[in-house]
Amino acid sequence: MSGMRTVAIVNQKGGCGKTTTSINLAATLAAQGLRTLLVDIDPQGHCAAGLGVPEDRIETGLAEAMLAEPVGGDQPEQMLWEVARNLKLAPSTIALAGLEAARGGLAAVADRDARLAKLLDRLADRFDWCVIDCPPTIGLLTFNALRAADEALVPVETGYFALRGSERQVATIEAMAARIGRPLPLRILPTLHRPEAKLASDLHAAIQRRHGAATLPVSIREHESLREAAGFGQPITEYAPGSPACEDFLRLVQWLVANPVECTRQQPHAVYHSPPAETEVAEPAINPRVADLLARMRAHAGFSAEPVPPSEVQPAKAEGTA
């Protein structure tokens, strides 16, 4: 079994620093000498822009690789872009935006929620770490990312509305993990944190109280240099090495490396099938706290914590850069 460790960066809320976290976590891992693969499964494709990869030159990306037979095609490594030493990118293309729609191709294959996991299986011997930037939606692409991952990292901004929504985010991801049928450690990463602001510090403490041991003991502070680095198409390790922002990501990497998880990614991949409407299917066991949260979430009009059947998945709407 490969020792590649795969972490999915996931949050349905935009503006939480998800893509910024994905890019700079991957770049910092690579800077530490760890062979790292960054997978952009977000149709917005911001990882390429944030790393200076010319989008108009990307001919083959993740969508094409996931639909190929066998998964990834004859040489899956050919779609990868070498961004820096030890860092490669599996880019998103415009085709990814329609992949999970009813006629987008992904819903039609039997192993539709395990395609990314199978692709990573073929690439695993080339890398030590894999970081997946997930879309800000709950659909087949996010299912693929979570099924392929050994752990999920949820960036949560230390802001009032982000705090209020964090339980909903966690409950939704835990419900999805329960359907995967294997352990999926979930960790909360405070982001865009301003420790000098009393409100931000209070909210940071509230996140720790609310999520307990799931909250990482490190946080990513709000740094102008992170926005500047993205604008120049560089990770923080290249744009401002030794900066406070770079130090934050180095602390994150050091903590993750020092706290390994069991690699469960290569356990047998079950396939999610949406049951017929008239068929009642027993729910998988979910811990009581999550069940209570799901019940409260369903009470909100227009919100469902249930996984979206492939026939109902819509392409992600474009949002601003995370």
pLDDT in tens, 78-91: 999 999 999 999 99
Query: What whole-number percentage of the chain has pLDDT above 70?
Result: 71
Average pLDDT over residues 23-33: 97
- How confident is the model at residue 165, as a pLDDT? 64
Of residues 133 and 286, the one with the higher pLDDT is 133
Integer Cα distance of 9 and 42 in angstroms: 11
Of the candidates 30, 12, 81, the residue with the CA atom closest to the CA atom of residue 307? 12
Average pLDDT over residues 189-211: 68
CA angle 304, 290, 113 (to 5 degrees): 60
Integer Cα distance of 120 and 126 in angstroms: 10
- Phi–psi pair at 16, nearest 5 degrees: -95, 0
- Does the pLDDT of residue 318 top 50, yes or no? no
- How confident is the model at residue 316, as a pLDDT? 38
Condensed to tens digits (0 to 9), the pLDDT of residues 135-181 reads: 988 889 999 999 999 999 989 876 655 566 667 778 888 888 888 88
**Confidence band of 291 (pLDDT split at 50, 70, 90):** very low
Which segment of 13-17, 134-138, 262-266 scores lowest on mean pLDDT?
Answer: 262-266
**Confidence band of 274 (pLDDT split at 50, 70, 90):** very low
- How confident is the model at residue 176, as a pLDDT? 82
180-194, 216-230, 287-301, range with greatest mean pLDDT: 216-230
Would you list the domain boundaries of the chain? 5-164+184-260
161: exposed, middle or buried (Cβ count in 10 Å: 0-12, 13-18, 19+): exposed
Integer Cα distance of 187 and 213 in angstroms: 8
- Does the pLDDT of residue 308 top 70, yes or no? no
- How confident is the model at residue 92, as a pLDDT? 92
Average pLDDT over residues 223-251: 93
Of residues 130 and 219, the one with the higher pLDDT is 130
- How confident is the model at residue 164, as a pLDDT? 64
- How confident is the model at residue 178, as a pLDDT? 83
**Average pLDDT over the chain, rounded to whole?**
78
Query: What whole-number percentage of the chain has pLDDT above 90?
Result: 42
Fold classification of 5-164+184-260 (topology level):
Rossmann fold (3.40.50)
- Does the pLDDT of residue 315 top 80, yes or no? no
- Does the pLDDT of residue 192 top 90, yes or no? no
What SS3 state is found at 230? helix
